[in-house]
């Protein structure tokens, strides 16, 4: 087993995903402790430029090339990764916790017969063990898991868990022309479908009023929309509101929605699950309204109101009208 830390880089249409820069930051921290190398692993075809763009981020950029790796195909990805991991034996392999890694990482762990912990907000290596923190029940409690690293292991880290930092490395690209012994033709990449451009881009908004499940009913959305308009803010929401079909998905803030950094973010009836915080915790000023004083949203809020939002919204609106 080497002391190296592998970070599996996700890229789409020539662009590296933000979470990959976050896991690289974590990999650099860990390899500093283990004395091994930070290795960025890129699977693809025609991805030389992407590989070269990571030379300051890792000690080595392992570019595994084959035209079958041009787009995400979990069987080919698993096959290539298991061969590389089996041969190089990294101490730990880190994925971003994304829909792509949902598909690859667990089957890779099963294939290699090594342990895996997914959906982590934090983890560290303590001697022979990896100890990881995983949020449960929408972030209301954290659980702790560990595994022995003597045979390696896999971790998937949630987006936003680590702040991406620039590296100071001068890594080299090692390109491997990979060949597959067999074809996996039960599924096929057909093409990318761009999400339809929404009517509004919440990432550009200076003021956001965001609504969560505390709103209870679709018909109450109008109340929040009216409040947002009265202060010149854009309306956004947590994921359950999109899942219920009450607002379109271009309004969703969080790890599977948009990341926003407005001057003002007002969270109404949002608990503050980790996936939501990942998309808004860097707003300049956060005001949270929630009936539950223990709601995690208060851990990132600059101002908190523990109260029923149906009382707070009209009171705030009236006060603002008086000040106009």
Ligand X SMILES: Cc1cc2nc3c(=O)[nH]c(=O)nc-3n(C[C@H](O)[C@H](O)[C@H](O)COP(=O)(O)OP(=O)(O)OC[C@H]3O[C@@H](n4cnc5c(N)ncnc54)[C@H](O)[C@@H]3O)c2cc1C
- Report the interface residues with ligand X, using CB under 6 A: 138, 212-214, 238-240, 252-257, 269-271, 273, 275-276, 279, 289-292, 295, 308-310
Buried b (16+ CB within 10 A) or exposed e, 101-125: bebbbebbbeebebbbbbbbbbbeb
| Three-class secondary structure assignment of 23-61 | HHHHHHHHHHHHCCCEEEEEEECCCHHHHHCCCCCCCEE
- Alpha-carbon Rg for the chain in angstroms: 22
Those residues whose C-beta lies under 8 Å from the C-beta of residue 220, and which sit 6 or more positions away, are: 310
Partners of 63 in the β-ladder: 42, 175
Q: Which is nearer to ligand X, 11 or 291 (CB)?
A: 291
State the minimum distance, in angstroms, from the CB of residue 180 to ligand X.
30
Q: Exposed, middle or buried: residue 230 (CB in 10 Å: 0-12, 13-18, 19+)?
A: middle
State the minimum distance, in angstroms, from the CB of residue 207 to ligand X.
19
State the minimum distance, in angstroms, from the CB of residue 149 to ligand X.
26
Residue nearest to ligand X (CB): 254
Q: Which is nearer to ligand X, 93 or 255 (CB)?
A: 255
Residues 90 and 4: beta-carbon distance below 8 Å: yes
Q: Which is nearer to ligand X, 44 or 269 (CB)?
A: 269
Q: Which is nearer to ligand X, 90 or 214 (CB)?
A: 214
State the minimum distance, in angstroms, from the CB of residue 305 to ligand X.
9
State the minimum distance, in angstroms, from the CB of residue 216 to ligand X.
7
Other beta carbons within 10 Å of 82: 17
Those residues whose C-beta lies under 8 Å from the C-beta of residue 307, and which sit 6 or more positions away, are: 289, 291
Q: Which is nearer to ligand X, 37 or 238 (CB)?
A: 238
State the minimum distance, in angstroms, from the CB of residue 209 to ligand X.
13
Crossing angle of the two packed helices 309-323 and 221-230, in degrees rounded to 10 = 20
Spatial separation of the C-alpha atoms in residues 246 and 224, rounded to whole Å:
12
Count how many residues are written for the chain.
Answer: 324
State the minimum distance, in angstroms, from the CB of residue 122 to ligand X.
17
Partners of 286 in the β-ladder: 265
Q: Which is nearer to ligand X, 270 or 316 (CB)?
A: 270
State the minimum distance, in angstroms, from the CB of residue 151 to ligand X.
28
Q: Which is nearer to ligand X, 171 or 257 (CB)?
A: 257
The tokens describing 12, both together, are 């789409």
Residues 130 and 118: beta-carbon distance below 8 Å: no
Residues 16 and 53: beta-carbon distance below 8 Å: yes
Q: Which is nearer to ligand X, 103 or 292 (CB)?
A: 292
State the minimum distance, in angstroms, from the CB of residue 158 to ligand X.
8
Q: Which is nearer to ligand X, 230 or 256 (CB)?
A: 256
């Amino acid at each position: 087993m080497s002391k190296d830390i592998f970070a599996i880089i996700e890229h789409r249409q020539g662009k590296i995903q933000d979470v990959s820069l976050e896991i690289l930051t974590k990999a650099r921290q860990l390899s500093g402790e283990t004395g091994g190398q930070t290795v960025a692993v890129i699977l693809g075809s025609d991805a030389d430029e992407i590989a070269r763009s990571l030379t300051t981020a890792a000690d080595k950029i392992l570019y595994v090339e084959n035209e079958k790796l041009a787009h995400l195909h979990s069987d080919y990805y698993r096959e290539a990764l298991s061969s590389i991991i089996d041969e190089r034996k990294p101490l730990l392999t880190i994925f971003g916790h994304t829909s792509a890694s949902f598909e690859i990482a667990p089957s890779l762990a099963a294939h290699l017969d090594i342990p895996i912990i997914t959906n982590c907000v934090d983890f560290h290596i303590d001697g022979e063990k990896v100890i990881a923190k995983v949020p449960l029940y929408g972030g209301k409690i954290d659980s702790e898991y560990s595994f022995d690293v003597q045979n390696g292991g896999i971790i998937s880290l949630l987006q936003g868990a680590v702040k991406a930092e620039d590296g100071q490395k001068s890594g080299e690209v090692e390109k491997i022309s990979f060949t597959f012994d067999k074809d996996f033709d039960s599924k096929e990449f057909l093409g990318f479908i761009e999400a339809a451009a929404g009517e509004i881009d919440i990432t550009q908004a200076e003021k956001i009023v965001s609504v969560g499940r505390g709103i209870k009913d679709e018909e109450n959305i109008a109340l929040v929309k009216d409040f947002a308009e009265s202060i010149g803010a854009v309306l956004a929401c947590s994921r359950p509101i999109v899942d219920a079909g009450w607002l379109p998905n271009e309004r969703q803030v969080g790890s599977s929605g948009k990341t926003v950094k407005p001057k003002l973010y007002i969270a109404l009836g949002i608990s503050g699950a980790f996936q939501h915080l990942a998309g808004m915790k860097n707003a300049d000023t956060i005001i949270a309204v929630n009936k539950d004083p223990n709601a995690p949203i208060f851990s990132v809020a600059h101002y908190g109101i523990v109260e029923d939002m149906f009382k707070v919204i009209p009171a705030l609106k009236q006060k603002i009208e008086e000040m106009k």
